[in-house]
Amino acid sequence: MDKVRIGVLSHAHGHSNAYCRVMQDFDDVELVACWDDNEQRGREAAAAFGMEFRADAEAVSDDPNIDAVIVATETNRHAQYVELAAAAGKAILCQKPLATTLDDCDRIIDTIRRTGVKFSVAFQMRQDPVNRMIKELVDAKAVGEIAVVRRRHCINVLNNEAFFTGPSRWHVDPVSNVGMFFDDAIHAADWFYWTFGPAKRVMAEIDNIVSNVAPDDNGIALFRFESGALGTLFNGSTTVAGVNTTEIFGAEGTIIQDYGDAVSTLPPRPPGVAPLRMIRQGDTDWQEFDLPIPESQGERIAGVPRPFVDYVRGLSDEHVSAEEGRKSVEMILGAYRSAREGRRISL
What's the CA gap between 144 and 253, in Å, rounded?
7
Q: Angle CA(193)–CA(195)–CA(200) in degrees, nearest 5?
A: 35
CATH 3.30.360.10 boundaries in the chain: 128-293+330-346
The residue with greater pLDDT, 242 or 6, is 6
- Inform me whether the pLDDT recorded for 343 exceeds 70: yes
Give pLDDT, residue 47.
Answer: 98
pLDDT of residue 267 exceeding 90, the answer is no
Q: Percent of the chain scored above 90 by pLDDT?
A: 89
Q: Is the pLDDT of residue 92 over 80?
A: yes
Tell me: pLDDT of 287 over 80: yes
98-149 pLDDT, tens digit per residue, is 999 999 999 999 999 999 999 999 999 999 999 999 999 999 999 999 999 9
Per-residue confidence (pLDDT) for residue 296, from 0 to 100: 80
**Residues found in the chain:** 347
Name the CATH architecture for the domain at 128-293+330-346. 2-Layer Sandwich (3.30)
- Which architecture, in CATH terms, is 4-122? 3-Layer(aba) Sandwich (3.40)
Q: What does the pLDDT read at residue 53?
A: 98
Q: Is residue 336's pLDDT more than 70?
A: yes
Q: State the burial class of residue 9 (Cβ atoms within 10 Å of its Cβ: 0-12, 13-18, 19+).
A: buried
Q: Looking at 136-150, 156-170, 175-189, 278-292, which range is the least confident one?
A: 156-170
To the nearest whole number, what is the mean pLDDT of the chain? 96
pLDDT higher than 90, residue 269: no
Q: Which of 172, 138, 142, 85 is nearest to 281 (CA)?
A: 142
Mean pLDDT, rounded, for 144-157: 95
Report pLDDT for 71: 98
Q: In this structure, how many other beta carbons lie within 10 angstroms of the beta carbon of residue 251?
A: 11
**Delimiting residues of CATH 3.40.50.720 domain(s) in the chain:** 4-122
The pLDDT confidence band at residue 241, using thresholds 50, 70 and 90, is confident
pLDDT at 264: 65
What is the average pLDDT across 46-54? 98
1, 153, 184, 217, 260 from 156: Cα distances, Å: 41, 10, 11, 9, 15
